[in-house]
Each structure stands twice: as C-alpha cells, then as structure tokens.
Amino acid sequence: MLVEWNGRKAALSLCMALLLVFVSLGLPAKPAAAAGTTYYVDSVSGSDGNNGTSTGTPWKTLSKINGQSFTAGDSILFKAGSAWTGTLSPISSGSSTGQITFGKYGTGADPIINGGGAEEAIKLFNVQYVTVQNLEITNDAAAVAKRHGILVAGQGVGTLNSIYLNNLNIHNVKGISDRDASPENMYYNAAIYITVWDGAAGSTLSRFNDLRIENNQIHDISTIGIYSNGTGTQYNDSTAATWYTNLKISNNVINRTGADGIVVGYGNGAVIDHNTVYNAGVNGTNHRWIAAVWSWSSKDSTFQYNEVARTHFQSGVDNDSMAFDTDLNTYGTHLYQYNYSHDNTGGFFMSTGNLQNGQDIVRYNISQNDHHQHWSTATIVDGNPAHFYNNTFYNGDGSGFVIHGNKIASWDGDTLNNSYENNIFFVSGGGTVSLPSVHQYDHNLYYGFTAPAGDTHAVTGNPLFVNGGSGGDGRSTVDGYKLQSGSPAIDSGKTITGNGGLDFWGAALYNGSPDIGASEYTGSTTTSASLSAAQTATPMTIDGSLSEASWSIAANVAKTISGVPNNTVKFGAAWDSTYLYVGVQALDSALYKDSTDMYNDDSFDIYVDADHNKGTSYDSHDRQFAIRWNDSAGLFERSGNTTGVLHAVANITGGFSGEIAIPWSNLGITPAAGTVIGLDIANNDDDDGGDRNSQLMWSGTGNNWTDTSAFGNLTLTAGGPLVNNAYYKIVNRQSGKILGPESGASTDGTQVEQWSDLGSTYQQWQAIDLGGGYFKFKNRANGKIMEIYGASLADGASCAIYSDSGNWNQHWSLTSAGSGYYKLVNRQSGKLLDMSGVSLVDGGDAIQYYDNGGQNQQWSFVQVP
C-alpha cells in the first residue's frame, strides 16, 4: 500500500533515462512461439460441449476457459463483435518456448469482456508466459468499489515471467478514487493493477520479470490507469532484488481517469516511455494528491518520450496535480528526458526528498504553461538531489513560474544546491516568479524576469523560439520551441558530459558549442507558421466586427518580439476573387491612441508577400499595412500602396477587433485555390500611453518591415461544404442514413450511430470552424461534441459524443471524395470516420478506420435552418 507522510501522499520520483541507455537496457526477447492449439470462443453460437478447435465448433462461456488447462503455444481467441459478462481467470501458464495467448478472431469490433461489477474483468493470478491482446475490457457498476479492469498478481511462487498486455481498450472501470476510503482506498485498484502478496510463512516472495504493458487505450474510468504495487515485505533497497525487472510501460494512451495516470512501484530499472496521459483525475472523488506519472518504492526508473496534459486539481483542497513525481522509498538514478508536459494545474515536477543513493536527472524536456496550483504553490518541487539541464520551461499565460527549493520542515531536512544548467526560463504575462537561492544556477537563459544573482553566466533576452506557446495536444506540435538563427541560446551553454547524446527532437549533441534549452540548433530551423484561408462565396462586410459566419478567428499571435506581453491576440483570413480578407482581434484591458506613429499605440501590422518569394527586401508584391484602435480613418502602408483597400476597427468586450480587405489588384497577383502567399500579423501593445510596451507576432521577426523571409505561409483553399456555425445533417454515402447519438441520448460516451431521417435535432450537427482546416461538430440537441472515444488511435475505435474537451480527438478535417462527398479525417488518429461493417441498417455504429476507399467512409452535408 502507498505510504503517507504527515497526511500527504508520498511524493514520487521522476526519472529521466538516456535514450542510449534505454536502447542498451537489454530487455529480453519475447519467447519463441511454440506450436500449439488454437481454441475459438463465440458468445452467441458457441457451445461448451464443442471441442473449441475450429470456428465452426467454438466454445461459449468464460467458465469453460477458466476451468481448462492450456499449454505453451496455445491461443484462445474470442469472436469479433461478441461479448461476455464475468471474469476471465485462466489457470495455465505458457513457458519459455511459447506464450498462451488470449485474443481475437474475425473482423469487426474487438470482443468485450465485461466484468459486470466484479472485482476484476480479467484476473491473471500466479500465471506466467501469458499474452492478452485485442480485447475491449470494461467493469462498470452502479456504485464504486474496489474494482480492476485487469488484475495481475502473484503470491508465494517466486518469479513470474513474460506477461504481455497489448492493444487493449479498457474503459468504464468503476473503481475507487477516494484517498480516505476504508478499509481499501484508491491505491488498491486500477484499470490495470499489478501486485504481489506475501505468501505463507517461509514461502518464496513473488516478483515479475518481463512484464510489458503496451499500446493500450485506457479511458473514462473512476480509478487509476496503470498501477504496479507490491507488498511491504519488499519495501526497502536491500530487497530490491525481489522487485520487478524488465517492466516496460509503453505507447499507452490514458485519458479521463479518476486518479493518477501511471504509478510505478516495486520496479527495478522500469522503462516508462511514449505514453500519453490526459486529464488524470478528472473523474475522481477526494483523490487530492495525485500526479499523472510517478514512481515510488522503485529503483533506477526511466521516464522518456511521454506527454502529459491537464492533470486535474481538486477544488477547495491542497493538491499535487503535477505531471511527474518521484515519491518515497526511491533509490538510484531516476531519469526524465524528452517528455512534453503542458497545462497541468499543479506544475511540471515534484520530488519528496526521500531518494537514496542517487539523484533525479531531468533533461531535454519541454514544459508549457504548467501552473503552480499546488499545495506548495510551486511549478517544480525538488526535494531530492537533482540535476535539471537543457529543459525549456515556457509560461506565457500569466501563471508565472515557481521553484520550491526546500522540503517540508517535518521531512528529512533541506535539499540544497540542486543544479539548474542550460535551461530556458521564459515567463510572460505576469504571475509570481521565484527561483530560490538555495540552488545552483549556471548558463541558463532568462526571459521576463531578473536572473538569479548566483548565475554568473546568465543569458537574458528573447530566446527566439520559432513559435513559442504554440504547442497543443501531441508531441508533434512542439516544433515552435526550436531555436531560430540569431537566438542568444545558441552556443551559449556549458558542456555537460553523459548527456544522452540527443536533444528533444533527436538532433545530435553538440553542434558547435552547447545550446541552452531542449533544442540543439542545427542551422536549418527557420520554420514558418502556416494557415489556410477558405474561399468565401459572400463578400465580407468590412465594419471591424468580425460578425460574418465565414470568419474563423482562431490562429494565435503569440511569438514575443519585445517587452512582456499581457494580451491575447488571434486572427484569421479568407478570400474571394476580388479581395484578401484579414480579421484580427486583441483582448487587452488597456487601450491607447496618443502617438504619431501607429506602432507605438494599440495597433496591428498586416504584412503580405503576395508572390511568396520570401525575399530579404521588399518588392512590388510586398506590403506592410497598419490599423489601430479607435482610428477608423487611419490606414498606413509603408510605401503608400493603399489603393482600393477597405478597413475598419471596432470595440469588443475586453479589447478591439479589426478587418481589412486588400484587393488582389493592389498586390499584383490573380488568386486561385492552392495559391500560397506570405502573410504575417503583428500586434503592438501600449499599456500606459507613449511608446508601445510589447509586440507579438505570428511568425516573423522584428525585421518584418524590411525582410519577408520569416513571414508565415497562407494557403488559399477552395470553398468547402461547411459554413461556420451552421447546422447540418451528416449523411453516409453507402447507406444514405444520418448520424446521431444512439437513441438520442446525451450521456458522455454515447455511441454515434446511423439511422433513417427522423427530422430530430439530435440528427443535426453544428459545424464549428477551428481554423487550419479543422472543424468540431456539436450536436444540436445536447451540445455534446462528436469524438473518437478515449482518443483511441486504433482501427475500429468508436465514434461517440462527449463534453467539449478541446482535444484533437474531437477535431475533424474534410478531404474531397468527389461528387459532393467528403472523407472526415480525425485530427488525433489520422483515420477516417467509417460505418462499421459497411452497415446499411438503422443502428449501425460509426467508428474510425484506415482509408480503404469505401463509400461507407464518405459523407455529404445537408444544411438545415
């Protein structure tokens, strides 16, 4: 059980392992497949009186399997689309010559094992060399109780080898999330729960070796996602030899849990990599001190290539709620590297000061807008000996950045002189900033606040990220944290030996002298921002209000050029055969117009490189326009080329907006769908009169007024079938039926299905343009959003309705399939919206699937009033 210290959750240890170390960890090869028998199970057409050895003579029940002996190499396959209620609890083990495999046969939806409220849906007790894969697992009930999706347990039998849990969809496990529940609290259950128990007196302690949890979807549960636990008998370093070896937790997506995401206990050399954990704890009750990914009672753990976002803060109580944590009874070196953390309420990292015979190494990570709504009000709590180097810490939302340098007085004393080297600390928008003097700082870059006096090699100034603050869900979204040419972070760091050899993106270290931050500049990173502009059939009314349905004002202008910005700026673009339209919006509580030069007031610069030659000087196709707040008559263009240009500004709640229509004839080009032009937006902010206080830009640099090479890319796209905020019926080409939630229900997680046209509002969807070619679809009857359930990446994953989370599994793009039909592509998975099994009947399920060219993956949109 988890130990508590002075009523607080034992703080956990974040470990960052070198990629090269990880590669050389020497995980054992999977056992070779022995020849065995394949058994088939069909919940509808099977019979336990059959021999089970063919699809024509399948077994029927779980009890038949639970009482059967199997041997190495055997496979027990459940029919696709079938379902069982109860517990699968096999009694046989494979061997080093072959696994016993439980999986799926046939095409269609994964077979379902529904625990029906039992303590576990699948129980693997004192078995080894077992694989469980390609199943859907659920264990719901009316009330919470100690409850697992899968329990893997051992007792009194020594080492249990080679248990593999792979490609499972585990959801709706109604377990406990209450820390104070009695006699068993939240640490006694999980979607996947690993543990050993003490056996009879004198018996051999059990342990696991080669335990792999990989490629699973775990979502919408009321307990922990994955938890490896153990017995107190094994609770110190002297017994670490009995801890779990070759434990690997990899490529899992965990979303909307009741408590923590991944908890590693009793691991010796565990590797936790390439996992995604979103919204940990959001379904919980009284969990308080949770973290998304953490370890305790473990040795030499490695956490790498993970993404963690939006760890939940329980309102009204003190919380942890950080991304990563190294807790009590940890030993050796814990390595945290190449992780991406963002928007976690309790911060990026915590350690409790109980790590023995080692340190935390935290390197080459990116933390974006991790807050410090934490019991210690800190973004980082570093109680353990630790070395933080080459991380990029970005807080641009006004939350500030705080390091808590000392342990609680009742703990083991203070941890002093932790080392922070080669890190970027970027803070804008205000908030508390505190870097305590008890630590050592060297060769860090500081922006937005005064560098600590102890950093005698401090670098200050804008690090010139490609597009800082632009990260979203997905590790692929963080290229904005690469460095641009001219960044003061380039070649300004110190050499650190044993550094893993790679930066966050896999670039070799070093390219010249060491750089500061998670990016090692290679000389090729001048990535420009990109946006699409849809053709509009109706000309815009240029009144500054942005009221037309064709506007999508969603692109963030967030790159800091000067000062410390405190406003929020967005823009969008559209076009027709006559004009390029640009709309801008600034949320800013202090607006001024008192200067001769527009750029010193609250204003916008709109830069255009119409022939997209990215020149280092302006030519006849390049423009710099400027408009400003409270100045409807004012229009600036650097060379006076204002012929035919329309513009207007308007006050809005909390700021101002503006519109500009630039004739193509003014720019000297003829537009067409597919044309790419250069575009950039700058916002000048004056907070107190006189000169401007700060400047934000979308893509470029402070040299935009003479140099177009860093402008963003604007692609003109053909007018699509959807009008922003209009309502549509979504009709499948194959069946002619219409999408809506099953039975018109409004519950989160309700399956989206097809049905004949009932004329109901629950068969109508509002298309909301998110910019960049993406839409979300909001159900007219219940306000829920169409998504791929659980952010699954797997073929066959359900399409469902859910409350608006802002996650990419709720975003869709449209690709023309010809003849007025479109493919709907999910942004998270890249897979297509599909009618399962090419269904033609009412009640057919909508799923996602790879693009197979079928008409069941093509859709038309019928607009309704």
HEC string of 509-520?
Answer: CCCCCCCCCCCC
How many domains does the structure of the chain reveal? 2
Do residue 642 and residue 787 come from a single domain? no
pLDDT tens digit sequence for 734-784? 899 999 999 999 999 999 999 999 999 999 999 998 876 789 999 999 999
pLDDT single digits (tens) 217-233: 999 999 999 999 987 66
Question: Which residues in 519-534 are b (16+ Cβ under 10 Å) and which e?
Answer: bbbeeebebbbebbbb
* 19 is a domain residue: no
Residues 606-639: b if buried by 16+ CB within 10 A, e if exposed = bbbbbbbeebeebeebbbbbbbbbebeebbbbee
Q: Quick check: is 357 in a domain?
A: no
For residue 7, pLDDT over 70 is answered with no
| 533: its two tokens | 């502009």
pLDDT at 76 over 60: yes
> Quick one: 704 and 818 in the same domain?
no
CA 748 → CA 115, 172, 285, 585, 802, distances in Å?
21, 11, 18, 33, 4
Q: Pick from 661, 689, 717: which residue ends a domain?
A: 717
DSSP-based three-state secondary structure for 42: coil
Average pLDDT over residues 673-680: 89
- Is the pLDDT reported for residue 239 higher than 70? no
DSSP type of residue 98:
B
Q: Say which CATH number the domain at 753 has.
A: 2.80.10.50
Per-residue confidence (pLDDT) for residue 570, from 0 to 100: 95
Q: What is the DSSP letter of 837?
A: G
Does the structure show a pLDDT above 60 at 569? Answer: yes
- Region 588-613: mean pLDDT is 94
DSSP labels for 783-815?
-PEEEEGGG--STTPBEEEE-----GGG-EEEE
First and final CA of the chain: distance in angstroms?
58
Contact assessment for residue 786 and residue 750, using Cβ atoms and an 8 Å cutoff: no
Based on the domain organization, do 683 and 547 belong to the same domain?
yes
Q: What was the pLDDT predicted at 15?
A: 35
212/161 Cα distance (integer angstroms): 10
On the question of pLDDT at 700 being above 60, the answer is yes
How far is CA 707 from its chain centroid? 36
Share of the chain above pLDDT 70, in %: 91
CATH of the domain at 633: 2.60.40.1190
Provide the pLDDT confidence category of residue 21 given band limits of 50, 70 and 90: very low
Looking at the structure, tell me whether residues 571 and 607 fall in a common domain.
yes
Amino acid found at 741: P
- Clarify whether residues 655 and 553 are in a common domain: yes
Mark whether 540 and 671 lie in a shared domain.
yes
Output 317 or 6, whichever has higher pLDDT: 317
| Cβ contacts of 94 within 8 Å, gap of 6 or more | 31, 34, 70, 71, 72, 73, 74, 100, 128, 129, 130, 162
pLDDT at 240: 61
DSSP 601-655: SSEEEEEEETT----SS--TTEEEEEEETT-SS--EETT---TT-EEEEEEETTE
Separation CA 397–CA 656 (nearest Å): 20
* Highest mean pLDDT pick, 3-12, 240-249, 456-465: 456-465
**CA torsion angle for 466, 472, 473, 475 (degrees, to 10)?**
10
Per-residue DSSP letter, 48: T
Asked if residue 260 is part of any domain, the answer here is no
pLDDT tens by residue, 399-442: 888 887 644 333 344 455 689 999 999 998 778 888 988 888 99
What's the average model confidence in pLDDT over 353-379?
A: 82
Write out the two tokens for 722.
């959807």
Q: What is the pLDDT of residues 835-848, one digit of tens each?
A: 998 889 999 999 99
- Once rounded to an integer, what is the mean pLDDT over residues 575-594? 95
**Domain contains 191:** no
Give me the pLDDT at residue 5, please. 27
480 and 517 in contact (C-beta within 8 Å)?
Answer: no
Calculate the average pLDDT of the chain: 88
In the chain, count of helices (H) and strands (E)? 3, 67
Are 789 and 673 members of one domain?
Answer: no
Does the pLDDT value for residue 380 go beyond 90? no
Tracing tokens 């949320």 back to the chain, one arrives at 587
- Residues making up the chain, counted from first to last: 865
The reply to whether 742 and 644 lie within a common domain is no
Q: Is residue 26 part of a domain?
A: no
For residue 610, the enclosing domain spans 530-717
Beta-bridged to residue 309, according to DSSP, are 278, 342
Looking at residue 771, its amino acid is G
Percent of the chain with pLDDT over 90: 63
Separation between Cα atoms, residue 466 and residue 715, nearest integer Å: 19
Q: Are strands 120-125 and 148-155 parallel, antiparallel or unpaired?
A: parallel
What was the pLDDT predicted at 405?
Answer: 62
Rounded CA separation 158/130 (Å): 16
User: Can you say whether the dihedral through the CA atoms of 46, 50, 53, 59 is positive or negative?
Assistant: positive
Among 717, 746, 765, identify where a domain stops: 717
Per-residue DSSP letter, 11: P
Per-residue pLDDT band for 176 (boundaries 50, 70, 90) equals confident
At residue 189's C-alpha, the angle toward residues 185 and 192, to 5°, is 160
- Range among 238-252, 274-288, 652-666 with highest mean pLDDT value: 652-666
Q: Is residue 157 part of a domain?
A: no
Do residues 708 and 794 both lie within one domain? no
Mean pLDDT throughout 305-330? 82
Residue 319: per-residue pLDDT: 65
Residue 42 has pLDDT above 90, yes or no: yes
pLDDT digits (tens, 9 = 90+) for 48-71: 999 999 999 999 999 999 999 999
Cβ-Cβ contacts under 8 Å for 181 (sequence gap 6 or more) = 286
What is the pLDDT, as a whole number, of residue 851? 83
Q: How far apart are CA 519 and CA 502, in angstroms?
A: 9
- What are the strands, taking DSSP E only, across 327-461? 334-337, 340-342, 349-351, 360-363, 366-368, 380-382, 386-389, 392-395, 401-404, 419-421, 424-427, 433-434, 440-442, 445-447, 459-460
Question: Residue 834, Cβ neighbours under 10 Å: how many?
Answer: 27
One domain, residues 685 and 731: no
Q: Are strands 752-755 and 738-741 parallel, antiparallel or unpaired?
A: antiparallel
Cα 723 off chain centre by: 29
Domain endpoint, select from 659, 693, 717: 717
More confident residue, 529 or 509: 509
Q: Are residues 711 and 733 in the same domain?
A: no
Sequence-ordered strand ranges (E) for 140-290: 148-155, 157-166, 169-173, 190-197, 204-214, 217-219, 224-228, 244-250, 253-255, 262-265, 267-268, 271-273, 276-278
Residue 502 included in any domain = no
The residue that leads in pLDDT, 103 or 707, is 103
Cα–Cα distance measured from residue 122 to residue 116, given in angstroms and rounded to the nearest whole number = 11
Report residue 328's pLDDT band, with 50, 70 and 90 as the boundaries.
Answer: confident
Contact 21, 337 (CB under 8 A): no
User: Which residue matches tokens 């177009």?
Assistant: 708
* Residue 535 belongs to some domain of the structure: yes
- With a cut of 60, say whether residue 24 has pLDDT above it: no
Do 783 and 710 belong to one domain?
A: no
Q: Which DSSP symbol is given to 111?
A: P
